[in-house]
Amino acid sequence: MSEQYPVEQQTERERSARDIATLVYLIQAISIFTAVPFFVGVIINYVKRGDVRGTLAESHFRWQIRTFWYSLLWFVIGWATVWILIGFVVWGISWIWVVYRVVRGWLNLADNRPAYS
């Protein structure tokens, strides 16, 4: 059952949700160069997830959370296989994939579109 909000309040919810999603994309972009902020971004996603339910940003939160978890998975796989030099390839591909996910998601948000088409 979806909550009903007055138009002004719904507009404010949408704006606030978009601002938070934008902040997390910025954090993820910074994380491309240093991994620590990536954890801060996903914590924000989980803490604010209920606040964005029913807004455009909800799909972006899902996108951002999945970007975090899959990148962490690929980091671990890369780390486990680095001794046979495959890990460096895995890390390189994962890095490119994260850049793609951050750019694509952020552009979709800027165009007022959901993260998933």
Q: What's the pLDDT tens digit per position in 78-112?
A: 999 998 999 999 999 999 999 999 999 999 999 99
Can you say whether residue 50 is alpha, beta or left, with left for phi > 0 and alpha for psi between -120 and 50 degrees?
A: alpha
Segments forming the whole domain that contains residue 38:
7-110
Domain membership flag for residue 116: no
How far is Cα 57 from Cα 66, in angstroms, rounded to an integer?
14
Bigger pLDDT: 10 or 67?
67
pLDDT of res. 117: 75
For the segment 27-49, what is each residue's pLDDT rounded down to a tens digit?
Answer: 999 999 988 899 999 999 999 99
Q: What percent of the chain has pLDDT over 70?
A: 91
Residue whose entry in the numeric block shows the structure tokens 């994260």: 98
Stated pTM of the model: 0.88
**Of the candidates 71, 68, 76, 30, the residue with the CA atom closest to the CA atom of residue 49:** 68
How many CA atoms are closer than 13 Å to the CA of 50, on its beta-carbon side? 1
Residue type, 23: L
Domain membership flag for residue 1: no
pLDDT of res. 116: 86
Domain membership flag for residue 41: yes
Domain membership flag for residue 2: no
Domain membership flag for residue 55: yes
Query: How many domains does one find in the chain?
Result: 1
For the segment 8-34, what is each residue's pLDDT rounded down to a tens digit?
Answer: 667 888 999 999 999 999 999 999 998
3-state secondary structure of 54: coil
pLDDT of res. 4: 63
